[in-house]
Amino acid sequence: MGSLIDGFGRKIDYLRISVTDRCNLRCLYCMPEAGILHKPHEDILTFEEIIRIVEAGVFLGIDKIRLTGGEPLVREGLVDLVSALSVIKGLKDISLTTNGILLKEYAQALKNAGLKRINVSLDSLKEARYRRISRGGDLKEVIDGIEEAIKAGFTPLKINVLLLGDIEKKEIVDFLRLTIENSLCVRFLELMPVTSFYLQDKFISSAIVMEIAEKIFPIEEIRVFGAGPAEVFKFKHALGSFGFISPMSNKFCSSCNRLRLSSDGILRPCLHSDSKVDLRQPLRQGRDEEEIRQIIEEAVKLKPKEHALDKKKSKTQSDFFMCSIGG
C-alpha cells in the first residue's frame, strides 16, 4: 500500500463519497426553496465505478471512507454497496452520514453489511423548528432511527448539529444534556458561508457553546476514534461526549486528510476550492487502474494549503449545493 502526501506534507487517507445528489428533505441551508436540477441518472457513478475508485484509492493509502449524499439512504441498493466495500483489503473504516429519516429501516442491515459508524444530521430537538429547517421533516422518524441504530450496535453514535443563528441557549443545553445518560457524541458545527441562497443573521461560534457547557458540569477533553477535525469533550461521569467542528473560528486545514468524490465522479481535493479532476470519463473510457490512480494523485497535488472562506471575494470560494457534492 502506498501513501498519498500532498504539497504541504499532509497525509491523505480519507475519502468522502457522495452516492447521490437526491434527498428526501429540503433543508433551508443546503438547498434553495425551489430545489435543484438533479443530475441525469446516466451521469451518476454506478456502484461498480465507485468500487473501482475506492480500490485504486486504497492502493494509494486511503483507508477510511464515508458515504454521503444528498441523502445516501435514498440510493437503492446502498446496503449492497457497503457489503462490497467492506471486503476491500486495506480499507479499515466505512462510515455514513444521514439525515436519519430512513435509518430505522436500514440500521441493522447496514451493521450486518459491515458499516462501522454513523453520523446523523439533526439541527433541532424542537418539532416545529426541525420541520421548518428541514422543510417538512418528521423529527420522530429521526429519533426512531437513532434509537434503532444504537440498538443495532452503532455506539457511540454521532449527532451533527449545525449552529444556525436562531438556535436558543436552552436548545443547546438540551443537546448537551443528551450526552450525560446516552452513548452519543453531539458535535456542534459552525456554519460555513458557501451559499448565496441562505445567509443567516447571526454567526454562532463554538466558543459560545463551550461557555454554555462549562456552566452545566465539569468538563474533560478526550480523544475519540474518527473524530476528524473535531475537538471532543465530555462531562465527568457522562456516558457520551460532545465536540466542535470550527472551520471559521479555528481553521483545521493544516491537518486536513480528505478528498471528496461527487456523485457524478468529480474528485475534489478541497470542499471550498474550484480545483477538481474527473474520474467518471476515464472510467467509462476503459482506463486501467494504474491510470485511475494517477488521476487521484493529480487531485492530491491540487489540494490547497487552506480554505479562504474567511476572506471576502475569495477566488476560491464557490457557490454550490451541498446536496450535490456531499458535506
Q: Looking at the DSSP assignment, which residues form a beta bridge with residue 12?
A: 4
Confidence of residue 327 (pLDDT cuts 50, 70, 90): low
Give the domain CATH number at 47: 3.20.20.70
The predicted model gives 257-282 an average pLDDT of 94
Predicted confidence at residue 316, as pLDDT, reads 39
pLDDT of residue 318: 45
Domains identified in the chain, total number: 1
In this prediction, residue 259 carries a pLDDT of: 97
Q: How far apart are CA 66 and CA 57, in angstroms?
A: 13
| Residue 201: pLDDT over 90 | no
Mean pLDDT of 306-322: 54
Give the mean model confidence (pLDDT) for residues 138-148: 98
> How many Å from the N-terminal Cα to the C-terminal Cα in the chain?
28
Banded pLDDT at 195 (limits 50, 70, 90): low
pLDDT-derived band of residue 326, with 50, 70 and 90 as boundaries? low
Q: Which residue range forms the structural domain that includes residue 248?
A: 4-325
Average pLDDT over residues 28-38: 83
Strands (E), the chain: 4-5, 11-12, 14-18, 64-68, 93-98, 117-121, 157-162, 184-189, 219-221, 231-235, 241-245, 258-261, 266-268, 277-278
Q: What is the pTM of this model?
A: 0.92
- pLDDT of 314 > 50? The answer is no
Q: What is the pLDDT of residue 229?
A: 81
Q: Is the pLDDT of residue 116 over 70?
A: yes
Mean per-residue pLDDT, 9-37: 91
- Rounded Cα distance between 204 and 35, Å, is 26
Q: Could you read off the pLDDT of 146-168 as tens digits, one per residue? A: 999 999 999 989 999 999 999 99
